[in-house]
Structure 1
Amino acid sequence: MNYIKEINAFYIITQTNPLSPSASASASLLWHTLMHINNQTRWKPSFTVAVSILKTKTGVSESTIKRARDELQTKGFIHYHSRGGNQAAEYQMVSLWSI
């Protein structure tokens, strides 16, 4: 994945397919945070990260993260699935550049 191309694609896509006004800022922040984390994993196809880590990195509440995460998945920017219990959710970043 090319980090700069993905960031540019994110902004191009959100101009024509905007995030919902109620989730726009937090969804954008979460997408950038997940991209950063995925970059740290050297672009593994899937990775796990706890909500507590996302709360620390974004500065937003758990409920806001969950709403933003749902928005990003609905728009096709990420795939995630909750693994239940105290296990961290698993994420996959969708390559927006290749869309």
Structure 2
Amino acid sequence: MKVNYIKELTAFKEWMSFHEISPNAALLWHTLMVLNNTARWMETFNAPNSIIENLSGLSSQRIESRKILMENELISYVPGEKGKAATYQMKSLVSLF
């Protein structure tokens, strides 16, 4: 998947002009973008809650704001199982703007 990180950040800022989400959800989106960048823009990537918490400063309860991101179709999320981290997929916003 070819992703232009700067264009995605700009598109998210524009998207935020028309949609209201919590600051925690916005921070989580940015954190997941950083992790996806680290994963070299894989279609899906795994991210343990502990890593998300360390990078974002969000508590495990605040990470639940991922529901807001899913409801707004900004990410796909599959919960992890014992010994395996959750799987995420970032949805591109570039084509919307």
Give the aligned partner of residue 96 of structure 1.
Answer: 93
CA shift, 1:25, in A, is 1.0
Query: How far apart in 2 are the matches of 1:85 and 1:15?
Result: 38
Q: 2:82 aligns with which of 72, 81, 85?
A: 85
Q: Is the partner of 1:98 in helix, strand or coil? A: helix
Q: Is the partner of 2:54 in helix, strand or coil? A: helix
Matching of residues 12-51 of structure 1 within 5 Å = 12-19=14-21, 24-51=22-49
Give the aligned partner of residue 10 of structure 2.
Answer: 8
TM-score (norm 1): 0.89
Give the aligned partner of residue 64 of structure 1.
Answer: 62
Alignment gaps of 5+ in structure 2: none
Alignment gaps of 5+ in structure 1: none
Query: How far apart in 2 are the matches of 1:17 and 1:58?
Result: 22
Query: How far apart in 2 are the matches of 1:60 and 1:40?
Result: 19
Root-mean-square deviation (CA, aligned residues, Å) is 1.0
Length, aligned pairs only: 94
